């Protein structure tokens, strides 16, 4: 943007400078020529009183030698009878023609201009005074004046560029700070704010950004509190359930263990909802899968479900928090247990590519009739909330990845959670 403003200032200032300096340069040249011709006219007029007193060649040569043009050999006099003093540069015909006129005339020659000044003498005689003006005298001072004008034009352009660059730097600095703040806020730094400065429009944009950031922060805080409160309400029925299981004695030990794991998950949800910082933004996907499959394996064993975890032996880093990836895995595995009959086999595969990591869930159940409808938030064709696939989809899209649903080799649903590596 600063480069664009600088180029604009150069273009505008250059056009303005040319519009004024070109005519001014021509006027300077014409003024120098007019000044040289006027000086020639003055020197020619200085000899008219001498011609009125005498026409002797010796006196005329002495008078010519006392003038500047005469000392430079640029002045000549011709009296009507043919006597001359100095060397004429104008053609004889032009000199004869000038003798018959009453006003001075100027003749352009290859090396300059010749000023012919006729003088009327007593006795009906006349004389012609020639003052030759070389081209160097005509353009004397023009080059220096043009150099000064060029320097003025360059100074104007450079000054305008500096002023435009300072103004552009102020605008660009404010816009860059606003963009940096928006990027940081979008990346999860909810404390990011910007001090309003710069042009009035950018100050208004910065003020609006701060107001928006404060509003979003308050809404997210309220949402976290609501999620924590809703999760906390589950403690009462869980406590009642634990008391009921305690009364059953040793036969209910397995149920008590499952209840303990459920209480742990509720506690984790409450802690995550209360947490204001984002925590780690990456995790080991293999470790998360091993932990979640260990949790679900007890239920799979109770329901006699064959299952398999493949590709989760070595660490695989993905750019999402472990809690969010675990929530997505739980949501997708919960769909398998909820929407397929007991005894249905399932598998989880971790695939690591060059630019992405895929977590693939396959089951031998009835499959998903409408995959496009299933991934819409709050939509389900199986009587559930319809949020399971949406949770996984939003996690994938947060990395630039995607969620794909098709049919697996086991005959049922095949859900592919692809996470792009940033």
Tens of pLDDT, residue by residue over 174-211, are 888 888 888 888 777 778 888 887 778 888 888 898 89
Read off the pLDDT band of 390 (50, 70, 90).
Answer: confident
User: Residue 86's domain spans which residues?
Assistant: 2-143
Is residue 231 pLDDT above 70, yes or no?
A: no
Read off the pLDDT band of 350 (50, 70, 90).
Answer: very high
This model's pTM is above 0.85? no
DSSP state, residue 252: G
Domain end call among 114, 143, 172 = 143
- Structure confidence at residue 230 (pLDDT): 63
Read off the pLDDT band of 273 (50, 70, 90).
Answer: low
pLDDT digits (tens, 9 = 90+) for 213-223: 888 888 877 77
Find, among 301, 281, 293, 313, the residue nearest to 395 by Cα: 281
Domain end call among 143, 166, 189 = 143
Is residue 196 in some structural domain? no
- Per the structure, the count of domains in the chain is 2
Torsion of CA 66, 68, 69, 73, to 10 degrees: 70
Using DSSP bridges, classify how beta strands 346-352 and 356-363 pair: parallel, antiparallel or unpaired: antiparallel
Domain end call among 111, 143, 175 = 143
Read off the pLDDT band of 287 (50, 70, 90).
Answer: very high
Is residue 378 in some structural domain? yes
Is residue 25 in some structural domain? yes
Among the listed ranges 133-142, 274-283, 333-342, which one has the minimum average pLDDT value?
274-283
Find, among 69, 61, 129, the residue nearest to 95 by Cα: 129
CATH of the domain at 352: 3.30.565.10
Read off the pLDDT band of 279 (50, 70, 90).
Answer: low
């Amino acid at each position: 943007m600063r480069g664009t403003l600088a180029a604009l200032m150069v273009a505008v200032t250059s056009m303005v400078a040319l519009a004024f300096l070109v005519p001014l340069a021509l006027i300077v040249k014409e003024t120098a020529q007019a000044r040289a011709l006027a000086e020639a006219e003055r020197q020619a007029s200085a000899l008219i009183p001498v011609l009125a007193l005498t026409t002797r060649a010796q006196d005329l040569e002495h008078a010519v030698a006392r003038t500047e043009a005469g000392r430079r050999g640029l002045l000549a006099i011709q009296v009507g009878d043919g006597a001359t003093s100095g060397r004429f540069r104008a053609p004889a015909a032009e000199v004869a023609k000038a003798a018959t006129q009453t006003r001075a005339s100027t003749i352009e020659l290859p090396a300059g201009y010749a000023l012919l000044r006729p003088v009327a003498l007593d006795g009906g005689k006349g004389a012609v005074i020639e003052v030759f003006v070389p081209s160097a005298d005509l353009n004397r001072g023009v080059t220096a004046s043009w150099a000064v004008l060029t320097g003025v034009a360059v100074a104007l352009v450079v000054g305008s560029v500096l002023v435009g660059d300072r103004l552009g730097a102020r605008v660009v600095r404010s816009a860059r700070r606003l963009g940096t703040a928006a990027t940081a806020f979008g990346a999860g730094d909810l404390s990011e704010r910007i001090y309003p400065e710069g042009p009035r429009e950018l100050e208004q944009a910065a003020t609006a950004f701060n107001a928006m950031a404060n509003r979003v922060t308050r809404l997210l805080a309220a949402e976290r509190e609501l999620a924590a409160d809703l999760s906390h309400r589950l403690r009462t029925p869980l406590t009642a359930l634990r008391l009921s299981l305690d009364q059953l004695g040793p036969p209910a030990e397995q149920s008590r263990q499952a209840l303990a794991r459920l209480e742990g998950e509720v506690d984790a949800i409450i802690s995550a909802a209360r947490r204001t910082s984002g925590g780690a933004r990456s995790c080991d996907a293999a470790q998360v899968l091993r932990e979640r499959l260990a949790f679900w394996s007890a239920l799979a064993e109770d329901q006699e479900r064959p299952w398999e975890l493949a590709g989760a032996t070595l660490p695989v880093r993905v750019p999402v928090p472990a809690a969010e990836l675990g929530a997505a895995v739980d949501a997708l595995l919960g769909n398998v247990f909820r929407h397929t009959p007991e005894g249905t086999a399932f598998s989880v595969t971790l695939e690591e590519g060059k630019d992405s990591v895929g977590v693939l869930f396959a089951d031998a159940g009835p499959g998903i009739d409408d995959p496009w409808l299933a991934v819409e938030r709050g939509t389900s064709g199986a009587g559930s909330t319809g949020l399971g696939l949406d949770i996984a989809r939003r996690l994938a899209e947060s990395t630039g990845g995607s969620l794909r649903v098709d049919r697996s080799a086991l005959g049922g649903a095949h859900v592919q959670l692809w996470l792009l590596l940033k």
